[in-house]
Amino acid sequence: MNIIKSDIVVVGGGGAGLRAALAAHQSDPGLSISLISKVVPMRSHTVAAEGGSAGVIRDEDSLDKHFDDTVSGGDWLCDQDAVQYFVEHCTEEMIQLEHWGCPWSRQDDGRVNVRFFGGMTVQRTWFAADKSGFHILHTLFQTSLKYPAIRRYDEFFVADLLVEDGRVRGVLAIEIATGAFFLFDCKTVILCTGGAARVYSQNTNAGIVTGEGMGMAYRHGVALRDMEFVQYHPTALAGTGILITEGCRGEGAILTNRHGYRYLQDYGLGPLDPWPRPKAMELGPRDRLSQAFWHEDQKGNTIETSQGRVVNLDLRHLGAQKIHERLPLITEVARTFVGIDPVTQPIPVRPAAHYTMGGIACNRWTETALPGLYAAGECSSVGIHGANRLGSNSLAEIVVFGRVAGERAAAYARELPDGDSRSIRQQAEESASRLLALLECQSGERVATLRDELGASMETGIGIFREDSGMRATCDTLAGLRARYRAGIKLDDRSRAFNTEWLSAIELGFMLEVAEAMAHSAVQRQESRGAHVRLDAYQTRDDDRYLTHSLARYSGDGPPTIDYAPVTITRSSPQTRHYGGAGQRAELT
């Protein structure tokens, strides 16, 4: 076992992990920091975020408006103290990125430009064309190269947390190139491992978004909070699930069914005119738009294609110049993957699983219940997304709370004396032998078989609309898949060097458990709220019983136990979410 000692371990090299590492270093340059990632940081899934990041900057906007849009978008399941902190710090993080070189799109006079996103009262989304995540990630990664004190361990797969005397004291990782085990002995761990939407078969996520950070914390007793809330992005390519940014609609694109009709007006998002106006029609929130697609599909109003049924996202009226300037990636993606030029033809789209609103339960300082363990970004549930995340709050979240996690972990590490690594060594050895047993298993099913059944079952049971029987069926399927997983996975590949089949098998174990947390949290929430919408007896929001966070707790081979914790409400008491209706026409900049 190779041993590497450092003060802080950051797991994950996406936007949250890089921001955390930079913040930890800047708050105390004397600390040693290991940044461990299963891919080279600039490959992380932050790279695929397109539309942009929220930050109040226009005169007619205010922190209160950002707060209200976020809390109502989240259907009042947000922790309002966390939202308050968040909205107060988004803009300074956008400025920080600008000072580090991020090429935000500009107005003619050189000021930063902002665009609309769904559910926004005022234009608030900072964007770098439609490659905002790409530019944020490369800016953070390249800036991190300035600080050699941030030691990178690229292509190291973190497989377990090591806990001693009730504190996290390290992680066990596999060096992918050689298959060798490494024990990272440290004082504090920051998990920034991203979401878990790969548990759905149709999803917008990169192949690496398999939820093992959530899974690791969960196995060590940290609750996964609000896992039933999985966001379907309303506009993805059918088949591949490749994302077509909400920025399209922010720039004025419209959605039409097979009759060329803007169907959103039939689902509480109309009337049509004046267009565009904030929080109406195509500028409604993601949960409502995905649900409207489902209804249209039921009515037979969608369009049949070889890749399944779709609606049209029409950009043509924006004109070639605006499309090429503001949406170059989308143009390229549509041309390459569906052979369509958005300047002359609408893009066929449908909803796909996109984002896990829930995650590792932590407070607004990113501290989990396990001392020394912090979580930031999509893997965490810091409390800002509630039951439905507002578009462009996730890129802001990774930098706002990435920084918080880095600073908090640095302060924690400074105070803590070096530990005795003997017992974590033993834990690491035991954990490593379990991983090796997986590699040496002689019989069983293929990774892909179980993974495909998992994805299909999540789509069917825990999709855009849910009902009791379907959710229970998925819970049963997942229990069966976990039993089959324990019975054995047969790998074709028994090598240690760069064995990605082995890593997929490890990921699959975490995916099954995280999916189970989602499914059981869903079946037990007997109401409809945000992205969790039921077609059975519980079609409305029930604040008396369920204005509360769900907490899924690991219980070994059995299903998780689900309990509840209060939502922090400081100043906005639950109201009806209001979209559409009368309103002023907005000028798009």
Residues near another protein (CB under 8 A)? 39-40, 42-45, 47-48, 92, 94-96, 98-101, 103-104, 106, 108-112, 131, 134-135, 138, 142-143, 145-146, 154, 177, 206-208, 239-240, 242-243, 305-307, 329, 332-333, 336-339, 348, 446-448, 491-493, 495-501
Rounded CA-CA distance 246/67 in Å is: 20
Nearer to another protein, 27 or 363 (CB): 27
Q: What's the closest the beta carbon of residue 336 comes to another protein, in angstroms?
A: 6
Q: What's the closest the beta carbon of residue 161 comes to another protein, in angstroms?
A: 24
Nearer to another protein, 143 or 388 (CB): 143
Nearer to another protein, 414 or 490 (CB): 490
Nearer to another protein, 201 or 521 (CB): 201
Q: Is residue 414 flagged as an active site residue?
A: no
The structure tokens listed for 132 are: 């905002």
Nearer to another protein, 137 or 432 (CB): 137
Q: Positive or negative CA dihedral for 89, 90, 93, 94? A: negative
Amino acid at 27: S
Q: What's the closest the beta carbon of residue 56 comes to another protein, in angstroms?
A: 13
Burial class (CB in 10 A: 0-12, 13-18, 19+), 50: buried
Q: What's the closest the beta carbon of residue 98 comes to another protein, in angstroms?
A: 4
Burial class (CB in 10 A: 0-12, 13-18, 19+), 508: buried
Strands 125-126 and 53-54: antiparallel
The structure tokens listed for 413 are: 């590490």
Query: Cα angle at 279 between 526 and 383, to 5 degrees?
Result: 45
**DSSP per-residue letters across 541-557:** --HHHHSEEEEEE--TT
Q: What's the closest the beta carbon of residue 191 comes to another protein, in angstroms?
A: 19
| Residue (of 539, 479, 474, 482) closest to 510 by Cα position | 482
Q: What's the closest the beta carbon of residue 567 comes to another protein, in angstroms?
A: 31
Q: Choose the catalytic residue: 152, 286, 389, 466.
A: 286
Q: How far is C-alpha 105 from the geometric centre of its chain's CA atoms?
A: 24
Q: What are residue 53's DSSP bridge partners?
A: 126
State the Cα torsion 260-264-270-272 to the nearest 10°: -20
Instruction: Tell me the helix, strand and coil percentages in the chain, rounded to 5.
Output: 40, 20, 40
Q: What's the closest the beta carbon of residue 447 comes to another protein, in angstroms?
A: 7
Nearer to another protein, 81 or 493 (CB): 493
Residues in Cβ contact with 315 at an 8 Å cutoff, skipping those fewer than 6 apart: 248, 251, 252, 253, 323, 327, 342, 343, 346, 347
Half-sphere exposure at residue 272, Cβ-oriented, CA atoms within 13 angstroms: 6
Q: What's the closest the beta carbon of residue 222 comes to another protein, in angstroms?
A: 27
Amino acid at 48: A
Where is 469: in which H helix or E strand? helix 468-487
Residues 377/16, Cβ–Cβ less than 8 Å:
yes
Nearer to another protein, 135 or 187 (CB): 135
Q: What are residue 550's DSSP bridge partners?
A: 564
The structure tokens listed for 186 are: 């440290």
Q: What's the closest the beta carbon of residue 84 comes to another protein, in angstroms?
A: 19
Q: What's the closest the beta carbon of residue 35 comes to another protein, in angstroms?
A: 13
Helix (H, G, I), strand (E, B) or coil at 200: coil
Nearer to another protein, 92 or 430 (CB): 92
Rounded CA-CA distance 461/469 in Å is: 8
Where is 330: in which H helix or E strand? helix 328-338
Nearer to another protein, 45 or 577 (CB): 45
Rounded CA-CA distance 39/501 in Å is: 15
Residue 150 CB neighbour total at 10 angstroms: 19
Residues 117/124, Cβ–Cβ less than 8 Å:
yes
Q: What are residue 493's DSSP bridge partners?
A: none
Residue 525 CB neighbour total at 10 angstroms: 25
Nearer to another protein, 150 or 551 (CB): 150
The structure tokens listed for 465 are: 């609309």
Q: Which residues are catalytic?
A: 286
